[in-house]
Amino acid sequence: MMAPVFRFAPSPNGYLHLGHAYSALLNFDLAREAGGRLLLRIEDIDATRCRPEFEAAIYEDLAWLGIAWEMPVRRQSQHFADYRAATERLAAMGLLYPSFESRTEIARMIAAEEAKGSWPRDPDGAPLYPGIARSLSPQAVAELKRADAPMALRLDMARAIAASGSLAWTEQGAGPSGETGAVVAQPDAWGDVILARKETPTSYHLSVVIDDALQGVTHVVRGQDLFWSTSVHRLLQQLLGLPQPVYRHHPLVRDGTGAKLSKSTDSTSLRELRAGGTTPADIRRMVGLPDPSAAS
């Protein structure tokens, strides 16, 4: 029987905070308790926001917390060929189409529709793509490509669901409303998600699914904010014939106002806490995890 494989997969677009510490420590603890392996993956597909100093800080912070991981570390930016091969497979199945609207143009379309009434939104609260590009003729697509217009490859969700059938996943944690056990996937709630862009041949949804499969990840342990993203991940796994991990979504660490911690809102970083005299044992107490050294 193979040892279970866990992973912690941060993006180097800012310094780690308590929320990251909780997820990293939980994965580390679970892997150790199960006699399994812990992998570290750097999700750095966003060349604009990801920076070397943030990646270096990730290694420093995790080592300070006492977390050990297997080498080598997988960096997504070094594996674009893997993701491109997946999009080519999906395209060959007739499940992808190019869209050429800019974010501003899409926002303008949605605003016009919302002026008439409500418009559907995904689980994160973002409005669904109107699907206009699905009706473009091959000639129009070729012309837009020649004009070097912004381009994204979208999953035709209706066709993808028809090809996959109904899906579910095994949840060992809990969703935002307490969902656990066998959870029915609802990928249609996300609409025609983007799987790649002209400047970046992958997206979070696609790369995380490919990486988990290639790295043999058996247990995905992550925050509840990604709970419903699992619907899209299960769909892609089914379409690409990839193994299905067990999922465990954990509660988020929140600030005094109840908002989740975020790099974008400058939540207090681990390096700031360390500079202020906080110890790794303090971090464990702050996030509600036991200190293994105290039990020995």
Taking the alpha carbons at both ends of the chain, their separation in whole angstroms is 29
| Residues linked to residue 101 through DSSP beta bridges, in sequence order | none
Q: How far apart are CA 238 and CA 185, in angstroms?
A: 12
pLDDT digits 0-9 by tens, 90-101: 999 999 999 999
The two three-digit tokens of residue 17, written as one number: 């905070």
282: how many CB neighbours lie within 10 A of its CB? 13
**What is the tens place of the pLDDT at every residue in 157-201?**
999 999 999 999 999 999 999 999 999 999 999 999 999 999 999
**Average pLDDT for 142-152:** 91
Tell me the per-residue pLDDT of 3-59, one tens digit each, with 9 for 90 and over: 999 999 999 999 999 999 999 999 999 999 999 999 999 999 999 999 999 999 999
Task: Give CA–CA dist 29/6, Å, rounded.
Answer: 10
pLDDT of residue 175: 97
Residue 7's φ and ψ, nearest 5 degrees, are -150, 150
Please check the confidence at residue 265 and state whether its pLDDT lies above 70. no
* Three-state secondary-structure class, residue 169: strand
Closest to 12 in 3D by CA, of 63, 66, 48, 65? 48
